[in-house]
């Protein structure tokens, strides 16, 4: 993945911290709406991380094309499918 590895790791660590916070909220029997709000924030964060990873892979694929055009097309199609699958 390269240059955005640290950025992705930082985002994942933040999401992990949010998840621990939610666990604590549940243990403390916080309001349901507050827990759902935090879960929604984590979902958005993970979606963003996935988008960054797919975009980086697609960019890499386009910047460094395969010699085999069939393999190149397959990689692009795979990236598109990851975006659509979301």
Q: What is the pTM of this model?
A: 0.74
- Asked whether the predicted pLDDT for residue 81 surpasses 90, the reply is no
| Residue among 11, 83, 3, 79 nearest 49 (CA) | 11
Task: Tell me the C-alpha distance between 35 and 29, whole Å.
Answer: 9
Start-end of H helices in the chain: 5-27, 32-63, 69-85
- Asked whether the predicted pLDDT for residue 2 surpasses 60, the reply is no
Structural domain boundaries enclosing 11: 5-85
Using CA atoms in the order 22, 34, 14, 45, what is the torsion angle rounded to 10 degrees? 120
pLDDT for res 12:
95
- The pLDDT tens digits for 25-70 are 999 999 999 999 999 999 999 999 988 888 888 888 788 777 778 8
The number of distinct structural domains making up the chain is: 1
- The CATH number of the domain where 23 resides is what? 1.20.58.1000
- Asked whether the predicted pLDDT for residue 73 surpasses 90, the reply is no
Crossing angle of the two packed helices 32-63 and 69-85, in degrees rounded to 10: 170
pLDDT for res 57:
81
Between residues 75 and 15, the one the model is more confident about: 15
């Amino acid at each position: 993945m390269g240059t955005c590895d640290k950025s992705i790791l930082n985002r994942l660590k933040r999401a992990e911290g949010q998840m621990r916070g939610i666990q604590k909220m549940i243990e403390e029997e916080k309001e349901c709406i507050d827990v759902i709000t935090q879960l929604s924030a984590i979902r958005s964060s993970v979606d963003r991380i996935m988008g960054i990873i797919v975009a980086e892979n697609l960019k890499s694929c386009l910047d460094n094309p395969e010699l085999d055009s069939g393999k190149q097309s397959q990689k692009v199609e795979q990236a598109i499918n990851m975006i659509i699958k979301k």
